Structure 1
Amino acid sequence: MAAPSPHPPTPSCPPDIASQERVHPMVQRPRRPLASLLLAASALTFGLGAPTTTGITATPQPTPATPKPARDVATAARPNVVIILVDDLDWADVSTYGRRDAPTPNIDRIAQSGVAFSDAYVAASVCAVSRAALLTGRMPQRFGFTYNINDEGDKGAGLPVDQKTLADRLRPLGYRAAAFGKWHLGSDPQFYPTRRGFDEFFGFLAGETNYVDPATPGIVTTPTKEDKYEIGPRTGNHAMVEGPDARPADDFSRYLTNQITDRAVDFITRATADKNSPFFAYVAYNAPHWPLQVPQSYYDRFAHIEDPVRRTYVAMIAAMDDGVGQILDTLEKRGVRDNTMVLFLSDNGCPHRFGFCNPDHPFGAGKFTYLEGGVRVPFVFSWPAGLKTRGISASPVSSLDIAATVLRAADPAHALPRELEGHDLVTTARKPQPDRLLVWGQEPVYAARQGDKKVWLSRDWNQSHLYDLKADPAEEQDLSARDPKNDKRLKGAIERYRTSLPAPLWKLHSTRKVTVNGRETEMVY
């Protein structure tokens, strides 16, 4: 492997992000075109604290005994919460970590007043399972939510009603909660958002939908190499609904990303009129998920991108990023930005088969797989009243941490519910946990990471690999024969996790061999 450059390129995010903490040289990938690109995930970090070995366990994190002065402690008022979850956005296509391909200045704004986690993971590499983890703070496989919900075939599938959502837990604390955008946690009445702790909902219940009528003036609709069907009217669970009775709310002539933003802004404006009641907004954009549709004005911004498929995808990211900016602007105008937790992340990586993912980065694609590009996602967190700006952190974190972080801040006098499996991100930002153990998997494919070492394992292929993510972020060099101790340890963690799980509530759809950005692996769907 080529020696890292002692002079890494200047990150494209403003200097007050990257310069907050110590910056290490960029790691380059050998042999393939990836060598010319930044790999900030294993390169941008701040000084690590003492190693702490932690797994995905249901152990509440202790409240610090002596609060620090100034901004690294919670304010007296319960914080507002805005979670912005986007769909199929890969790690490499935000500018926060120093990339230049897809500028995301408003996502960068969140990091400028908080922390950007370069080694952040979701609980599964597929939409529905990942979303169930975020909203419950638990690995969904522990309660049988093992596989994705297929809009056509999985009748009766959804987030079990005995599993509390974050909205359920915030309601007794006086929070007003609303969800906007993609749900994908069940379409039967018992799974509907307003029966899962949310006071309001506007969005669609399926896993995907169209953004706008392609006949609408000023809209670019770009076919991919694997479009599944022609874009027609939104029907059934793909249609937009709102309110407790799921009444129709479809306006197929307006770009859906803009509609979701408008609804979120309206909710924040109304919620902040009541100074005594905190709010929780779950803003689940379906962008930049397929199909590829974007207003012409955004498409025109990226004339330098020759491939129209890639160009449309990047333009969709820009439109979503502008929506993030409008939400931040509204929080500032309403005077609540300081005491509002804003968390931004993607539900999983980019699906390689459509041809719009980043082909020049090891984290540029991988949805449905347990390569890093499937489960490592952009993740930024800001809470100015409770956390000083931290820059870019390489401490491994998980989407499971969101529920624990919010509840720790909203109700600091009480211990976290024991079933939660996450860690408090405020504590992690202040005292990194470089040796945290993370385990993932959907039978028959699993993975585990601790420190820089990662094991990938397929039970039906009877195959496993050990990687050093710092030296080999592209996961090309199997070290299992040279490092049997770490190989055995991480395989043992996978086996303990796997054998603890109940039977899936609905069946596996398929597995198959795929090649993602030049790497052969197994896809689970």
Structure 2
Amino acid sequence: MKKRSVLFGTAALLIVLAAAGWMNRKALILWLVTTLAKDRDIAPYSPVAWNEGPAAAPAGERPPNIVFILADDLGINDISAFGGGVAEGRVPTPNIDRLAKEGALFAQAYAGTASCAPSRAMILTGRYPTRTGFEFTPTPDGMGRMVSMFSDNSRSGLPPVDWNREADDKVPPFDEQGLPGSEITIAEILKGAGYHTVHIGKWHLGSGQEFGANAQGFDESLLMASGLHLPEDDAGVVNAKLDFDPIDRFLWARMQYAASFNEGPLFAPGGYLADYWTDEAVKVIRANRNRPFFLYLAHWGVHTPLQATRADYEAVGDIKPHRLRVYAAMVRSLDRSVGRVLAALKDEGLDENTIVVFSSDNGGAGYVGLPDVNAPYRGWKLTMFEGGIRVPLFMRWPARIAPGTRVERPAGHIDLMPTFAAAAGAPLPPDVAIDGVNLLAPDPPARADNALFWQSAYYRVVRQGDWKLQVTERPKKTWLFNLAADPTEKTNLAEREPARVAAMTALLDAHRKAGRAPLYPHTIEVPVAIDKTLAERVGPGDELIYWPN
């Protein structure tokens, strides 16, 4: 009898434990993910030994150096050059603005897409995802499942994030979700033309012998090997965690503070990432002052996790809410980086004949809960409304570009590769279809069908002239806007212009039909409110769209 009581007691205890485990499964999974993700060995900080160029510059004319500075998730209204600025203009960006004042401002500039990695691939190749197959942003193993589990639709009013387990099983490991090595990048083209090529910062196009920055044409690469801007408990950091954002929870759980050089062992960076990478960029400029170089400085700011130095946090003043103050401090660090790069070029006598380009990989994210980052445009990162794909694009080259140049015709990330190649006098690869055009040509060639395209699975967009068509399957909807009359996309003309919708839909169909399938399937579909941040509750009448990735 006693034995039976023990058995019943044990069974009851197991049931209670199982029930408790089920009730707390999210916390347990978060703990497990955190524990497994942060077991990588990271060595102490180690100085990078950059390759030194010649002691003296060769005689004769040399092609321009090219410095491309890319921010991450920076909203167009975060730049004061457009008359706005973060926190209602309280944190100006004078160094970034200087690029526009002393060079060219592209007034209608577009990211390759509304998420980061495909935009980066288009920058490097000048080709659409329908040609490369690199259509979706690589996500770390387990991210889709965890984001779907932690999406709190009871708070936001949004439908849940959909995660497709069957599709996820078909996706390669994170490091192998890369831009194919067969693609020819601008780094490879410039390297072949005698340039020394250097990458610093975020990559997000795969790693290893086929996909890494060294494999894709960069002589040297200082890589962001994880995602913290500083250690979470660093005395000099101010953190802002976003309890309403499942992506943020995943990043804090998984990310470490780590770098690697030329895909070597991990080591701790030498400071707050934006400042550390700028320190190293200045060293690269000095080391290569006597030979042409291409420097791709790919910042992580202002991407979450939101972390700022305490000095920047104090410098921006008493901004509310806390996350906006941290975000503003991150913008300040980006602007300081641009100023330091420009100063280094001047100090080394390279100022006149260096092309400096600044942009963001896509628009500001609604999931940071800051409503004005893309003002006045609708939408966010993960939508292809103007807020998701309109980006700053400034180009300074004193030897060639007159100060205060303003370019009104549409320009895009897709155009940077052929523009850089032309400036360097380097031929484009034969027998490779390049979709971009040279933005610096006296008479830029016309685009095919006068059109720019965007595509993420079933969500497809084309801009032809001043007209922009968006079509998606979830929800099944069509939007048509005349951007000349309605740049903020308030009036949907699809029902009034059926002939135009049909013609532009045919363009989208032809674009997709002429291309290839994605390299791997999308695994999640994320609901996004077009006009509200994730910190705001969605209600009846609010327009939603799903982002497939």
Same topology, TM > 0.5: yes
**2:241 pairs with 1:241:** no
The one of 194, 202, 217 aligned to 1:174: 194
Measured after TM superposition, the shift of residue 439 of structure 1 is 1.2
Alignment match, 2:408: 394
Mapped partners of 2:93, 2:130: distance in 1? 33
In structure 2, the partner of 1:114 is 103
- Counterpart among 235, 238, 248 of residue 220 in structure 1: 238
Task: Note the 1:168-317 alignment, pairs <5 A.
Answer: 168-205=188-225, 209-224=227-242, 225-226=244-245, 227-229=248-250, 231=252, 234-235=255-256, 239-243=258-262, 245-251=263-269, 254-272=271-289, 274=290, 277-317=291-331
Do the aligned residues in 1 keep the contact of 2:195 with 2:294 (CA within 8 Å)?
A: yes
Q: 1:87 & 1:124 partners in 2: Cα distance?
A: 13
Q: Map of 1:23-38 to 2, 5 A cutoff?
A: none
The answer (yes or no) to whether the contact 1:124–1:441 under 8 Å persists in 2 is yes
**1:124 aligned to 2:144?**
no
| Paired residue type of 1:476 | K
Say whether residues 1:524 and 2:548 are aligned partners.
yes
Instruction: Answer whether contact 2:475 2:545 (CA < 8 A) is retained.
Output: no
SS at structure 2 position matched to 1:241:
strand
Amino acid at match of 2:83: G
Structure 2 residue aligned with 1:78: 63
Hey, what does 2:132 align to over in structure 1?
Answer: 143
Q: Distance in 2 between matches of 1:427 and 1:411?
A: 12
SS in 1 for 2:223: strand
2:273 aligned partner, one-letter code: L
Contact 2:103/2:395 (8 A) holds in 1: yes
Q: Deviations over 1:338-363 (max 9, x none)?
A: 11111110001122122135267243
Aligned twin of 1:92: 77
Measured after TM superposition, the shift of residue 229 of structure 1 is: 4.3
More helix by share: 2
For normalisation by structure 2, the TM-score amounts to 0.75
Partners of 1:480 and 1:307 lie apart in 2 by 39
Partner of 2:501 in structure 1? 487
Q: 1:91: how far off?
A: 1.1
Match of 1:467 in 2: 481
The secondary structure found in structure 2 opposite 1:248 is coil
Query: For the residues of structure 1 that align with 2:104 and 2:401, how far apart are their CA atoms?
Result: 9
1:261 touches 1:323 (CA, 8 Å); kept in 2? Answer: yes
Q: Which has the larger radius of gyration?
A: 2
Q: For the structure 1 residues 507 and 84, does the alpha-carbon distance in structure 2 shift closer, same or farther, using more than 3 Å as the test?
A: same
Structure 2: how far apart are the matches of 1:313 and 1:496?
Answer: 41
Quote the Cα distance in structure 2 between the aligned partners of 1:192 and 1:144. 17
> Matches of 2:138 and 2:313 in 1, distance apart?
32
Q: Which runs of 5+ in 1 are unaligned?
A: 1-74
5+ residue gaps, structure 2, are 1-59, 143-171, 533-542
Which position in structure 1 is the counterpart of 2:180? 160
Matched residues, number: 441
CA distance in 2: counterparts of 1:133 and 1:231, whole angstroms: 29
1:397-436 matches, within 5 Å, as 397-411=411-425, 414=427, 417=430, 418-427=432-441, 436=450
Change (3 A) 1:429 1:291: farther
Q: Secondary structure of 1:217's partner?
A: coil
Structure-2 change in CA distance of 1:429 and 1:218 (3 Å): farther
Q: Offset at 1:403?
A: 0.9
1:294 deviates by 0.5
- What amino acid is aligned across from residue 178 of structure 1 in structure 2? V
- Residues 120 and 302 from structure 1, CA distance in 2 versus in 1: closer, same or farther, beyond 3 angstroms? same
Question: Distance between the aligned counterparts of 2:116 and 2:374, measured in 1?
Answer: 24
Which stretch of structure 1 is more off in the superposition, 331-340 or 418-427? 418-427
Give deviations 1:351-404, integer Å, cap 9, x for gaps: 212213526724375111111111111110111112222433221001111111
Q: With the length of structure 1 as denominator, give the TM-score of the two structures.
A: 0.79
For 1:214 and 1:486, locate their aligned partners in 2 and report how far apart those are by CA, in whole Å: 52
CA distance in 2: counterparts of 1:93 and 1:197, whole angstroms: 32
Pairing partner for 1:337 from 331, 345, 351: 351
What residue identity is the alignment partner of 1:211? H
Please give the alpha-carbon distance, in whole angstroms, between the structure 2 residues aligned to 1:415 and 1:403.
Answer: 9
Task: Work out the CA distance in 2 between the residues paired with 1:508 and 1:264.
Answer: 35
Q: Which deviates more from structure 2 when the two are superposed, residues 82-91 or residues 476-485?
A: 476-485
